[in-house]
Homo-oligomer: A and B are copies of this chain.
Amino acid sequence: MSEPYLPTLITATPEEGFQLALKLSRLAVKFTQPSAEVRDRLRPDYAENADSLTAASQVVAINFQTVAQANDFWR
């Protein structure tokens, strides 16, 4: 990951902010498990499990709090 992966928390719209929250959630996984091959292999384990999807949604919710606050909630 030599290209800048997180240049700013500021986004133009709530939708872009939500996408950034998704990205932040995945970034932390990437840094914990750098192998794309392993991550791809694990994908069905959570993408087809209801509780895993809820857990993933929770991480996004926490990151979205951060991004929304950074953008003063796009008010």
Chain multiplicity (copies): 6
- Say how far A10's CB is from chain B's closest CB, in angstroms: 7
Contact size class for A?
A: 35 or more
**Cross-chain contact A65 with B64 (CB below 8 angstroms):** no
Nearest residue in B to A68 (C-beta to C-beta)? B66
**Cross-chain contact B32 with A57 (CB below 8 angstroms):** yes
A56: chain B residues at CB < 8 Å are 28-29, 32, 54
Instruction: Give Cα A62–Cα B22 distance, bound, in whole angstroms.
Output: 14
Contact of A55 among B4, B22, B54 (CB under 8 A): B54
Q: Using CB atoms and an 8 Å cutoff, list the residues of chain A in contact with chain B.
A: 4-10, 13-15, 18, 21-22, 24-29, 31-33, 38-39, 42-43, 45-66, 68-70, 73-75
